[in-house]
């Protein structure tokens, strides 16, 4: 994905979802970005290549946090993606992370923070604070995800 003729920012969202909650979160962000005129590509993490972020101005990961009673873990399908993401040079790119978790666990939605750290290691600029959703997105979460999209667009405009 490259910039359009109008020099509009483009976005790439990669998501991992076990129950469908995080896919819904990713789709909410996609809709918010597209409603604001940002062409957005959505890809399931097991089908994605981290290097594809090089072709986008706004890079988003939406991931669930897996917990087996121990510390919160990355989705299994996201482990290699995470390592590949950390190794990239995403200087000049804006990133945001979001995802779902269960407040029942001490490590609530830690994958959101872990992917933010990976983007930072890759040299990307944080465009918005991570949005953590308890299980499924409700009205307040949708509002927060729309604000998240607005912040990403504003940050990308500053870097353009």
Read off the pLDDT of residues 29-62 as tens digits, 9 standing for 90 and up. Answer: 999 999 999 999 999 999 999 999 999 999 999 9
Report pTM: 0.93
CA distances from 95 to 1, 46, 59, 61, 135 (A): 16, 20, 5, 8, 22
Inside any domain, residue 113: yes
> What is the domain-level CATH number for residue 104?
3.40.50.360
Domain that holds residue 50: 11-159
Inside any domain, residue 5: no
Inside any domain, residue 149: yes
Inside any domain, residue 6: no
Place of tokens 């029942």: 104
Structural domain count of the chain: 1
Inside any domain, residue 3: no
Inside any domain, residue 1: no
Helix (H, G, I), strand (E, B) or coil at 2: coil
Inside any domain, residue 102: yes
What phi and psi values does residue 55 have, to the nearest 5 degrees? -95, 5
pLDDT at 4 over 50: no
State the Cα–Cα distance between residues 135 and 79, nearest whole angstrom.
21
CB 94 within 8 A of CB 125: yes
Q: Token digits for 114?
A: 């872990």
Percentage of residues of the chain with pLDDT beyond 90: 82
Inside any domain, residue 119: yes
pLDDT at 22 over 90: yes
CB 95 within 8 A of CB 60: yes
């Amino acid at each position: 994905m490259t910039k359009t003729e109008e020099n509009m920012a483009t976005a790439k969202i990669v998501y991992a979802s076990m129950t469908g909650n995080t896919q819904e979160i990713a789709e909410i962000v996609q809709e918010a970005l597209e409603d604001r005129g940002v062409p957005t590509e959505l890809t399931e993490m097991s089908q994605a290549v981290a290097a594809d972020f090089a072709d986008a101005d706004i890079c988003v990961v939406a991931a669930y946090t897996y917990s087996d009673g121990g510390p919160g873990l990355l989705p299994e399908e996201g482990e290699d993606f995470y390592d590949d993401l950390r190794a990239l040079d995403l200087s000049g790119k804006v990133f945001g992370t979001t995802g779902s978790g269960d407040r029942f666990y001490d490590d609530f939605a830690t994958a959101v923070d872990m992917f933010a750290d990976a983007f930072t290691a890759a040299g990307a600029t944080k465009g918005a604070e991570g949005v953590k959703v308890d299980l499924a997105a409700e009205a307040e979460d949708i509002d927060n995800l729309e604000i998240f999209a607005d912040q990403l667009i504003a940050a990308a405009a500053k870097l353009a």
